[in-house]
Amino acid sequence: MAVKVGVLALQGDVSEHIAAFQQALRSAGEADTGVVPVRRAADIPLLDALAIPGGESTTISRLIDKNAMRSPIERFEGGIFATCAGMVLLAGTVDDPRVSPLALMDMSVARNAFGRQRESFEASVRIRGLAEPFHAVFIRAPVVTATGPRAEPLAAVDAGIVAVRQGLHMAFSFHPELSGDIRLHRMFLDGLRR
């Protein structure tokens, strides 16, 4: 049965996530037709996986509530793949009171931990489960300051934890969809099939 992946299409790099998941599914010999933008709360329960892209976390938080998506996302039984602002939204606690996190992962996150846009950078990051380092693109990125017992850190840099897995969910400080490397998308999809 084909995996249906939705990309939350409220703000952020939606098309890049769609393209990366399509490529990941094709590379696994699966149909890539089940990757869709999600703009309605009613679409969420029909998915196997949901990507929450980067963007502006306070804006995405407000748009989730405005579009009545908070409860469907909180009750979602599939896996969630979250990048940058998406990581902030999955956290249990966030250092910014303007963000209302979904509290789906046992972690605390510092929003914009690496500074402003001009402090964005790229780095080679070792990630548990990958044989070779991953070329990570950090754009006004958050960092995980603490994890609870249910969350498994997968990667860290000097500033803190930048990749976490918990059950079917994965969250990244950086933007794997911008790297041209689909190994993390494949790792996430493989985790859905366990």
Q: How far apart are CA 20 and CA 18, in angstroms?
A: 6
Catalytic: which of 16, 17, 169, 177? 177
Sequence-distant (≥ 6) Cβ neighbours of residue 8 within 8 angstroms: 14, 38, 50, 51, 52, 53, 60, 64, 69, 86
Q: Is 175 a catalytic residue?
A: yes
Instruction: Please give the torsion angle defined by the CA atoms of residues 167, 50, 90 and 55, in that order, rounded to the nearest 10 degrees.
Output: 150
| Annotated catalytic residue within 16, 17, 169, 175 | 175
Active site residue 119: no
- 8-state DSSP, 12: S
In 3-89, which ranges are E strands?
5-8, 35-38, 49-52, 79-83
Q: Which of 16, 17, 84, 185 is catalytic?
A: 84
Active site residue 30: no
Q: Which residues are catalytic?
A: 84, 175, 177
